[in-house]
Structure 1
Amino acid sequence: MDTPLPVDPAVRIGQLDNGLTFYVRENSRPASRAELRLVVDAGSILETPEQRGLAHLLEHMAFNGTANFEKQELVDYLESVGMAFGPSVNAYTSFDETVYMLQIPTDSAEIVATAFQILEDWAHQITLDPAEVDQERGVVIEEWRLGRGAAARMSDQQLPVMFEGSRYAERLPIGDPEVLESFPQEAIERFYRDWYRPDLMAVVAVGDFDADEVVDRIRNHFGRIEARSGPERTAFTVPDREGTRYAIASDPEASASRIALLSLQDPQPVATVGDYRRSLVEGLSNRMLNDRLAERAQQADPPFAFAAAARGRFVRPKSAYQLVAVVPEDGHARGMEAVLTEAERAARHGFTETELERAKLDLLRGLERDYTDRENQPSARFAAEYVQRFLTDGPIPGIDFAFGAGQALVPGIQIDEVDAVARENLAVEQRVILVDAVESPDVTVPVPDDLGPIFDRVAASDIEPWVDSSIDQPLVAEAPQPGSVVAEERMSGVGVTTWELSNGIRIWLKPTDFKEDEVVLRATSPGGWSRSAEDDHLSATVATALVQQGGVGAFSRIDLQKALAGKAVAVGPSIGQRTEGFSGGGSPEDLETLFQLVYLYATAPREDTVAFEAFRSQMSAVLANRGASPAAAFSDTLSLTLAQYHPRADPVTVASLDEIDLGRAVDFYRDRFASAEDFDFVLVGAFDVEAVRPLVEQWLGGLPAVARDDDWVDLGIAPPPGVVEKVVRAGVEPQSRTVVIFHGPMDYRPDERATLRVLASVVETRLREELRESLGGTYSVSVSPGYQRLPEGRYTLQVGFGSHPERAEELRAAVFAEIERLKVEGPSDEDVASALEGALRSLETSRESNAWWATQLLGAMETGEDPTLTTAPERYDGIDAARVQEAARRYLDGDQYVSVVLLPRAGA
C-alpha cells in the first residue's frame, strides 16, 4: 500500500531550464481540437494591500494588448478562427492561481502556432498600457458589481470567521473597488513582474496533435523566457482553531435558508496506492450517507429540502468535510439536528452490508464506464487534471490504473472501514457552522446558543440503527404483449434507420462511435399542459415532478434508486406547453432497463401522498423568500410582460402551492401518456440496430395506443405588439440589469435560423466592443437568439447586460445606436466571417455528440424537415454581410421589442 501512485504514461511531463513545467498528451476527442492552458501559481493571496484585485485585473489585461497583439487584435484573431470568447477563450483568477484557457482547432498549423505565441505573450509580454489599464478598471468594477447581492453580503459576514487569522479572509479575487479605482500603474506592473515567472508556471496541452511537435513548440516559445528571481512564493495557511465557531449571516433578500457544518482538516495527499484506497473508502462512506439523507428528504414533513455530505479542498491549505442542508426559514436548528443525527447514526451503528454492496456496484460501474470509453474522454478533462497536478500535486494515475485498482481494491473494502470514516468525520475538533438566514420580522435567526447544544443533544440521544429496506422483484411485474415493426426505411444521408411500430410509434435510430458506452434517448408527443383546464394548470405543470418524486410501479423513488444500483441508466418524463415526452440514456448494456423505465413511466405512475407532502415542503422552503429577490422580481416581470400577463404565466408562489391537487396532477399525467400512437422516439449512440429491435418491439411496441384528438391547444400566450418598456425597482445594491428582447414572426427554415444565429453573434461582438471595451460600462453583454415553430414561426433576439444604475440608460441607448448603425451601414465582412467560423467550428464538435444528434433528429421529426439540412453546415451557405444586414433590418425592429430594466428600489 506504500507503493507510489503511477503517473499516467500517456502524459509527457517535463521542465525547461528556466523552471517552467509542461504537460503534453495526445487525445482525439474532440477531433481536430486541442485544450491549452497557461497555469500561473499566483493569485489574489499574493497581493499586497494596495494590489487587492490586481491579480484578477491582470488576467483581464492579458486580452487587452501584448507584444504581438494590440488591444482588440488578440480577441479579434481568436474569434476569426472560430474560438468564441467565453466557451473557447477564457481565464480565471482564484486565491492561489491564475489559469488561462484556449480551445483551438488543430487542423491549421498557422492557428496552432499563433495560439502558442499567445500563451507565450501572456507569460511575459502583456503590455499593460496605462490607458488600457484605466479603461479596464471600470470593467472589473462592473464584474464586482455583478457579483453583489444577498449571497455576497452574507459571505462578507462569514469569511472573517471561516478564515480567521488568515490572509484568505482579506484577499477575495474580485478585489476591493476602492483599490481598483485608485491603484497606481506601478502596482499592477509589480505584480506581473514578481509572480509571472517561469518557475511558477506550467503549460498544459491536450488534444488531437503530434506530441513531439507540441513539445518543440513549448521549448521554442517558453524556453526563451529568462529565469529570474523574485519574492518567495509563500504558502499561506489557515490557522488551526480548536472548537466550534459560528458564522451566522442574514439578509432580507436571501433566496434560501441554509446551514452547513464544516469540519476543517489539512488536505490529505493521494500519493500512494494506500492513499488512493483510502479515498475510495471515504467516497463510499459519503455516498451511503448521502443516500440516507436523500431518503430523509422524502418524508412527509422533511427537516430539510436538500442535504448532502461532501469532502474537498476548502482553499488550497485546508480541506473541509461538509454537511450542508437547505432548510425552511425557521428550520435551521431542526435541519441541523436531523443532519447531525444521520451522521451520528452512521458513526454509532455503521452502515449495512446491503448499503455497502449498492455503493460498491455504483462505484465500480462508474470506473468501468470510464475505462470502456477511455479513448473518447474529452481533452478538457485531462487538461483540468494536469492543472491540479501542477498546483496541488493532485493524482494523475490514469483511467487504466483507476479501473484496475478499483477492480482489485473495492471488493476488499469492509464495512468496518467505511464505518470508521463516518466516526472520523464527526471527531474533527475544528468546526465552523455556517448559517444563511432570511432577515425578516417573521423569522428568528438562530444564534450560537440555539445551535451549540444540538451537538450534545444528538450525542446523548437514543438513535436506532438504520433499517435498509428494498424491494426484491423485477422492475416490470408482467411484460406487455410486444408490438412489431411495420415499416422500415433508411436515411443514408444522416445514417438513420426509421421504424414505424404497430401501435403508431415512430422511432429513428442512429448508431454512432462517438462513445463506446453511451446511448441517448429522446421522445416527444403533441399536447402538453396546453390541454389542461385552466384551474388545473399548476397541477399539470408539476405533474412530472410529482411522478418522479413518487416512483413507478411497485417502486417508490428511493426503492427505484436502490433497484438500479450498478446500472448506468436514467430516464425522466416531461410535460411542456405543447408537448410531453421522455429524456434519458445510459450504457448500451442497460438498454433493456432504459426501455423498461420508459414503459413504467408511461403506464404505471404512482400517486404517493407522502412524496407529495415532501414535495410541497421542499418547494415551500425554496420559494419562501423568493419574492424578496431582485433577480426574481426582474425575471418575473420579464416573463409576464412577454406573455401579456396571461394567467398561465404567473410565477409559482408558496400560496399557489395550495392549488396543486395530487390526484388531478397524476390523472393529467396518465392522460398525456395514455396513448403511444403519436409518440416519436430517437435513439442515438453505441448500439446495433438489429440487436435493439426486440427491445423496441417489446417495450415501446407494447405501449398502449388509443386513437384520439391529442394535439396541442393554442392558449394565446404571445408577446405584446409594439414597444413595451418597464422599470423594476428592487434590491439595495447599486446595480442594474437591462434586457431588451426583439421579437416577431419569422419563416421557420433551417437557413433562416442559421442567419439569426450569425446575426446574434455579430451583434454580441459589436456590443461587447462598444459597451465593454469602448465605454467600460459593463462586464459582459449577451445576445441570444430564440425561435419557435408553433403556433406560428416566431423569433426572439435577447440583449442583456449589467451596469451601474446611473449608466443603465446611457448603455441602453448605446445598444440601440449600435443596432441602428448595423442596420444602416451593415456589418463588416470580417465580423460576418468570424461569426460564421465560430458557428461552423461549434458545429464540428457538436456533430460528435450523441445528445446533439438526438436533439436535432427529434426536432426534424417534429417539424417534418429534412434532417440532412438541419444538421449539415450547408445551411450556413450564402450568409454574407448583405444578408446579415437585411436580417438586422427585419429582426431588430425598433418598433417591436420589450425592454425591462432593474434598478435599486427607491431610497436604497
Structure 2
Amino acid sequence: MLFRTLSLPVVALGLCCALRGQAQEIPADTALHTGRLPNGFTYYIRRNTQPQQRAELYLVNKIGSILENEDQRGLAHFMEHMNFNGSTHFPKNELVNYLQKAGVRFGADLNAYTSFDETVYQLPVPAGMLPDGLRILRDWAQEATMDSLEIEKERGIVLEEERLGKGAKDRMSRQYYPVLLNHSRYADRIPIGLDTVLKHFKPAVIRQFHHDWYRPDLQALIVVGDIDPVKTEAMVRAQFSDLENPKPERPRPAYAVALTGRSQFLAVTDAEASEAAIELLFKQKADPMVTAADYLCFVQRQLLLQMLSSRRYATISRAQQPAYANMNAGLQPFLGGLSLFFFDVTLKPGQYEQGFTQAWQILENVRRYGFTAGELARAKTSYLRTLETALQEQDKTPSINFVKEYQQLFLHQEAAPGIRWEQAFTASHINGITLADINALLQHYLDNKNLDIILSAPEAVKAQLPGEATVRGWMQAVRTQPLTPFREDSLQRPLMTTKPLPGHITDRSYVASLQLTRLTLSNGVTVILKPTDFKNNEIRFSGVSSGGTSLYDDNDFDAAAAAAGLVSRFGLAGLNPIQLNQALTGKVVNVSANIQPRSQTLSGVTTPADLETALQLAYLQFTQPGRDSTLFASTISSAKAMVTNRLADPTNVFSDTIAQVMGNYSYRSGPPTPEKLDKITLQRAYDIYRERFSDAAGFTFVFVGNFNTDSIAPLIAQYLGALPATYKKEQARDLGIHIPTGQWIKKVYKGLENKALVRIVYSGDYPYSQLHNLQLKALGDILQIRLTEDLREAEGEVYSPAVQVQYNKLPKSRYAMVVSFGCAPGNVDHLVERVGQLMQEMSANGPSQENVDKFKAAYSKNLELVLKDNNFWLGYLSGQYENQEDPQQVLQLQQQADSLDVTSLTEAADLFYSDKNRIIFALLPETSKH
C-alpha cells in the first residue's frame, strides 16, 4: 500500500492515555554513557560484545530536506553524497578506497540516508579501527571539502538515483502528499528534491547549506560495540570538542504538520498502477516517550495492534468469499510530529463497494462491541513472552539494536531504558490494563476528525471509481447497519492431546572438528545437531528431502508449487487457523513447510522452552495438515484479483520476461495468471502436499542453537522418529530447464518514465567445488568494485551497479553472474559495452592486486562474523548434506581465501568472465521503440 512503504522515523504513537498515574520519567539505561560537549555536540557510548571485536559508529544529524531553501531542494541528500567525495583527511574518493582495504564494504557496511528531518551516516568497523572511525565521523561532521569538480561528478550520480525512483508510486505520491501533509512545508521538501535544482545549482549554494546546518549542536555520535566506554569517551571529547557552530547561528526551526480538524478526500490514478485501494488515515499528535505514563500508553497500543491483527485474521478466516483482496489496520509513525491510525483495503475489480464495506465492518464491529476478554488475555500473554525472550537474550543483543534506540533518543527524545526496565515495568503494570482501556483507545482513533481518505487505482478504471460522497456513504451505512457481535471460537484445546509412539536412535556419530552429532532414526530420518552459544534463546532447524515440484508434470505444476502455501493457511490436526493460534498463545515458535523445485522442506525457529511445541508442529505438518474449502476459495479469489492488472507495472513485465527467458520459455517459468490459478483445485493441492510429506525417510534435519545434544535427542526421537516412512528413495528429476546458451538480447518497451533497467547474465557449466565457488564470488565482488569505480564514480551514469553470483551442483553444475543497473535509456548500449570491456580487461590481465586484497579483507571479516551466526550454520549444513558434500569443508574457507591471488583469479576469469553465453535484458520506455 502507499503509506506503509514509507521509510519514516520511529516516534512514539500518539494518544494522551487515560492512565496517567505514572508521572516519573523513564530511567536511562545505566550501561549508556552519554554527554553533551560545550559546543552542543551529543554522544552516546555503550559497550556491547555482539558481535565481538566490532563497533557500530553512527553520526546522526538533525538535518534533513525540511531545512532546504527553495534553491536547495534536494541538496540535503546531495550533501550526504558529498561527504563520501572528499574531506580533510580523505581527499576525493580516498575514504571508500581506504575502508575497502580494511574490509568495510561500500553500500553493505558503509552507508548513509537522508530523510525529511535527519541525515544519518553509518560506519561499522573492527574495534581496533575505532580511532580511525572517529576521525572519519569527525570529517563527516564538518570537514567535507566540497570541491567543485567533485560536485559536478556527483551531480550525475544523484540524478541517476532520482531517475530510479521515478514511476507510478512517485507520480501518485506527489499528488497525495500535499493533502496528507496538510500543505505544510513537508509537502514541498521530498528528500530527493527537484530536477531543476539538481541539474543547475551552483557549488556556493550547497556550501551554504553545509555551513548553516552541519554543526555540532545538531549532531550526535553513537558508538556501540566491543569497546572501553571510558577510553572512547575521552577520544570523542578530544576529536569533537573543537567543532564550531557558525556565527551568526541560523535558528533550526521545529517544523510540524498542523492538524486542521477536517477530513479530506483525494482520488489518484495512474496508467502503471496495478491495483485499486482505499486508505483511511486518521492523523493525531504523537506523544513523546518520556514518562512511565507514556510507556504504559505504549503498551496499550502494542496490545491493540496485536488484537487488531488477530481479529482481522479471525474474521477473514471465516469469510466465505471476501469481496476484497486484502485489508490491514494499525498504527504507524508519520511526519511533522504526527502519527497515523490507518485502515487500507485492496479491492477486487468490479467489487469496490462490497469489498470496502466488508472490510470496514471488521473495524466497526470492534468499535461497536469491543474486544473480548479472551482476546486481551492472549495479547497480554504473548506480549509478556516477547519481552521475556528479549530479556533472556540481552547479553546477545546485536549492537545495531542499541544504535537504533539511541538514534530515536536523540532525534525524538524517545527514552531508552533498556529491556530489563521495560520487562519489569510491563510485568508490574500490564494486569491493570482493562478491556475498557483498549476499546476506548480504538474508539479514539476511529472518532478522530482528522481523517484523510486516499483512493488509488489504475487509470483504466477511473470512470468506475466512487467519489467522495459515495465512499463516505459506504462508511455511514456500515455505522448504522446491524452487526452480529464477534464470538470467540468455542473449541479450545492443546495442540496435541496424545503424543505419537516414539521412534528410536539407531546410529550416532560425532564430527569433533565441527562439534556435530549425527543421528539416524529408526524411520530413516537423519538428524544433524550443532549446539551453539551464539544466542541464549534460539534454536533453528530445517529438514530437506529430494523431489519437489520436479516430480510433477506441467499440468500439476501450479498445484504443486502452491500446495504448501495453501495448506499452511488451513490449520492443523483438526484445529482451524484461529484455534491453532489460540493453542500457540505465549509460544515463541514458527514452523513452515515448503515445496521447492527440487525438494520439500520444513523449517522452524523457536526457543529452548518451546522446542517440544515446535517439534509437535513439525510432526503435525507431516501427519495432520488442514483442509478448508472456504479458505481455499478465498485465497485463490484474492490471488486472482492481485494478478489481474499486474502487467500495468513495467517492472512486472520486465521480471516476467527475465524469468521466462532464463527458464528457456518452459511452462514453469511463466508468470502467474488467472488461468493458471483456475487450474489449482483444493483436492489436487492437498493430495500433492500429502505425497511430498508422506515419506520422512529421505529427510535430513539440521538443528542449530542453544541446546544440549543429550537432552534434545529424546524429543527428536519422540516426534521426528515417529514420522511416517515408506522408503521410496525418491530423487528430483532433471527437467533440463537451464539458462539458454548463446548470445541473446531481449528488450522490453514498457513504461512512461525516461529510465531504463538493465540486467546482463553470464552463465555456463563449470566444475562445482568450494574453491571454484569462492573464486566466482571473488570475481563477482571485484567486478562490482570496478563497475562502481568506472560506471558510477568516473562516468556518473549509474547510481548503484550490482553484481550477483549464483551456482548450483544439482541437477547440473552451473553458474551465473548477473550485472544489474539503472540508467538513462540513451546510455544503455554503451554501458553494456563498457561492462563487457571491463570483463575482457580483467580476463586478459587479471584483477589488480589492490582489488584482490580488498575482497580478501572483506571476506575474512564477514566470515569471522557468520561463523558465529545460527542462520549461517543452518543454511551451510543443510546445503552440504543436500549436495552430499563434506561439512568440514567450512574449515578450509579462510585458507582458501588466503590462497587467492592475481594469478589464480586470472585463470578463473577465463571461465567466469566469458561472454560465450550472455543474455542482455533491457527495460526501456515505450517512447524508445520508435
Give the structure-2-normalised TM-score: 0.96
**What is residue 900 of structure 1 aligned with on the other side?**
921
Quote the Cα distance in structure 2 between the aligned partners of 1:227 and 1:422: 46
Q: Which amino acid is the alignment partner of residue 900 of structure 1? A: F
**What is residue 479 of structure 1 aligned with on the other side?**
499
**What is residue 569 of structure 1 aligned with on the other side?**
589
**What is residue 179 of structure 1 aligned with on the other side?**
197
Q: Alignment partner for residue 868 of structure 2, among 833, 844, 848?
A: 848
Q: Alignment partner for residue 168 of structure 2, among 150, 172, 177?
A: 150
2:519 is paired with a residue of what secondary structure? strand
Q: Which amino acid is the alignment partner of residue 72 of structure 2? A: Q
Q: Does residue 266 in structure 1 map to residue 288 in structure 2?
A: no
Q: Which amino acid is the alignment partner of residue 132 of structure 1? A: E
Q: Does residue 724 in structure 1 map to residue 749 in structure 2?
A: no
**What is residue 188 of structure 1 aligned with on the other side?**
206
After TM superposition, the runs of 4+ consecutive aligned structure 1 residues lying more than 3 A away are: 329-336
**What is residue 13 of structure 2 aligned with on the other side?**
none
Query: Structure 1, residues 595-647: CA drift from partner, whole Å, max 9, x if none?
Result: 11111111111221111111112212321211111111111111111111011
CA-CA distance at 1:334 after TM superposition: 3.6
**What is residue 233 of structure 2 aligned with on the other side?**
215
Matches within 5 A, 1:502-517: 502-517=522-537
Q: Which amino acid is the alignment partner of residue 927 of structure 2? A: A
Query: Structure 1, residues 867-890: CA drift from partner, whole Å, max 9, x if none?
Result: 221364233231111222222221
Sequence identity (%): 36
Alignment RMSD (CA, Å): 1.4
**What is residue 99 of structure 2 aligned with on the other side?**
78
Quote the Cα distance in structure 1 between the aligned partners of 2:233 and 2:33: 9
Q: Against the structure 1 CA distance between its residues 334 and 70, is the aligned structure 2 distance closer, same or farther, given a 3 Å change threshold? A: farther
Q: How many residues align?
A: 905
CA-CA distance at 1:464 after TM superposition: 2.1
Q: Against the structure 1 CA distance between its residues 471 and 443, is the aligned structure 2 distance closer, same or farther, given a 3 Å change threshold? A: farther
Quote the Cα distance in structure 2 between the aligned partners of 1:831 and 1:248: 52
Q: Against the structure 1 CA distance between its residues 329 and 378, is the aligned structure 2 distance closer, same or farther, given a 3 Å change threshold? A: farther
Q: Does residue 878 in structure 1 map to residue 878 in structure 2?
A: no
Do the aligned residues in 2 keep the contact of 1:607 with 1:663 (CA within 8 Å)? no
Quote the Cα distance in structure 2 between the aligned partners of 1:753 and 1:470: 55
Quote the Cα distance in structure 1 between the aligned partners of 2:894 and 2:273: 46
**What is residue 825 of structure 1 aligned with on the other side?**
845
Q: Alignment partner for residue 519 of structure 1, among 524, 527, 539?
A: 539
Matches within 5 A, 1:585-596: 585-596=605-616
CA-CA distance at 1:435 after TM superposition: 2.0
Q: Which amino acid is the alignment partner of residue 67 of structure 1? A: T
Do the aligned residues in 2 keep the contact of 1:313 with 1:320 (CA within 8 Å)? yes
**What is residue 770 of structure 1 aligned with on the other side?**
790
Quote the Cα distance in structure 1 between the aligned partners of 2:169 and 2:583: 39
Quote the Cα distance in structure 2 between the aligned partners of 1:769 and 1:471: 63
CA-CA distance at 1:470 after TM superposition: 5.0
Q: Which moved more, 1:820-829 or 1:789-798?
A: 820-829
Quote the Cα distance in structure 1 between the aligned partners of 2:210 and 2:403: 24
CA-CA distance at 1:440 after TM superposition: 1.0
CA-CA distance at 1:446 after TM superposition: 2.8
Q: Does residue 134 in structure 1 map to residue 134 in structure 2?
A: no
Q: Which amino acid is the alignment partner of residue 117 of structure 2? A: D
Do the aligned residues in 1 keep the contact of 2:492 with 2:579 (CA within 8 Å)? no
Quote the Cα distance in structure 2 between the aligned partners of 1:458 and 1:339: 10
**What is residue 654 of structure 1 aligned with on the other side?**
674
Do the aligned residues in 2 keep the contact of 1:323 with 1:339 (CA within 8 Å)? no
Q: Which moved more, 1:16-25 or 1:701-710?
A: 701-710
Do the aligned residues in 1 keep the contact of 2:278 with 2:345 (CA within 8 Å)? yes
Q: Which amino acid is the alignment partner of residue 337 of structure 1? A: T
Do the aligned residues in 2 keep the contact of 1:290 with 1:307 (CA within 8 Å)? no
Query: Structure 1, residues 733-763: CA drift from partner, whole Å, max 9, x if none?
Result: 1110000011011222111111111111100
Q: Which moved more, 1:539-548 or 1:599-608?
A: 599-608
**What is residue 280 of structure 1 aligned with on the other side?**
299
Q: Which amino acid is the alignment partner of residue 138 of structure 1? A: G
CA-CA distance at 1:326 after TM superposition: 2.5
Quote the Cα distance in structure 1 between the aligned partners of 2:84 and 2:78: 10
Q: Which moved more, 1:299-308 or 1:793-802?
A: 299-308
Do the aligned residues in 2 keep the contact of 1:518 with 1:586 (CA within 8 Å)? yes
Quote the Cα distance in structure 1 between the aligned partners of 2:462 and 2:177: 26
Q: Which amino acid is the alignment partner of residue 247 of structure 1? A: L
Do the aligned residues in 2 keep the contact of 1:42 with 1:96 (CA within 8 Å)? yes
**What is residue 301 of structure 1 aligned with on the other side?**
321
Q: Alignment partner for residue 695 of structure 1, among 707, 712, 715?
A: 715
Q: Alignment partner for residue 236 of structure 1, among 255, 258, 264?
A: 255
CA-CA distance at 1:361 after TM superposition: 1.0
**What is residue 5 of structure 1 aligned with on the other side?**
26
Matches within 5 A, 1:117-516: 117-229=135-247, 230-298=249-317, 299-441=319-461, 444-469=464-489, 471-516=491-536
Query: Structure 1, residues 687-727: CA drift from partner, whole Å, max 9, x if none?
Result: 11111111101110000111224110111101111111111
Quote the Cα distance in structure 2 between the aligned partners of 1:260 and 1:178: 32
Do the aligned residues in 2 keep the contact of 1:482 with 1:697 (CA within 8 Å)? yes
Q: Against the structure 1 CA distance between its residues 258 and 875, is the aligned structure 2 distance closer, same or farther, given a 3 Å change threshold? A: farther
Q: Which moved more, 1:292-301 or 1:356-365?
A: 292-301
Quote the Cα distance in structure 2 between the aligned partners of 1:184 and 1:149: 28
Q: Which amino acid is the alignment partner of residue 504 of structure 1? A: G
Quote the Cα distance in structure 2 between the aligned partners of 1:601 and 1:862: 21
Do the aligned residues in 2 keep the contact of 1:330 with 1:445 (CA within 8 Å)? no
Q: Does residue 536 in structure 1 map to residue 578 in structure 2?
A: no
Query: Structure 1, residues 425-450: CA drift from partner, whole Å, max 9, x if none?
Result: 11111011122212215872232122
Q: Which amino acid is the alignment partner of residue 688 of structure 1? A: N
Q: Alignment partner for residue 114 of structure 1, among 132, 151, 173?
A: 132
1:906 is paired with a residue of what secondary structure? helix
Do the aligned residues in 1 keep the contact of 2:608 with 2:707 (CA within 8 Å)? yes
**What is residue 633 of structure 2 aligned with on the other side?**
613
**What is residue 40 of structure 1 aligned with on the other side?**
61
CA-CA distance at 1:592 after TM superposition: 0.6
Q: Alignment partner for residue 655 of structure 2, among 627, 635, 638?
A: 635
Do the aligned residues in 2 keep the contact of 1:521 with 1:682 (CA within 8 Å)? yes
**What is residue 51 of structure 1 aligned with on the other side?**
72
CA-CA distance at 1:522 after TM superposition: 0.7
CA-CA distance at 1:164 after TM superposition: 2.5
Do the aligned residues in 2 keep the contact of 1:294 with 1:307 (CA within 8 Å)? no
Quote the Cα distance in structure 2 between the aligned partners of 1:338 and 1:452: 15
Quote the Cα distance in structure 2 between the aligned partners of 1:268 and 1:696: 49
Do the aligned residues in 1 keep the contact of 2:45 with 2:233 (CA within 8 Å)? yes
Unaligned runs of at least 5 residues, structure 2: 1-21
Quote the Cα distance in structure 2 between the aligned partners of 1:346 and 1:846: 46
Q: Does residue 887 in structure 1 map to residue 905 in structure 2?
A: no
Q: Against the structure 1 CA distance between its residues 643 and 55, is the aligned structure 2 distance closer, same or farther, given a 3 Å change threshold? A: same
Do the aligned residues in 2 keep the contact of 1:5 with 1:272 (CA within 8 Å)? yes
CA-CA distance at 1:477 after TM superposition: 4.0
Give the structure-1-normalised TM-score: 0.98
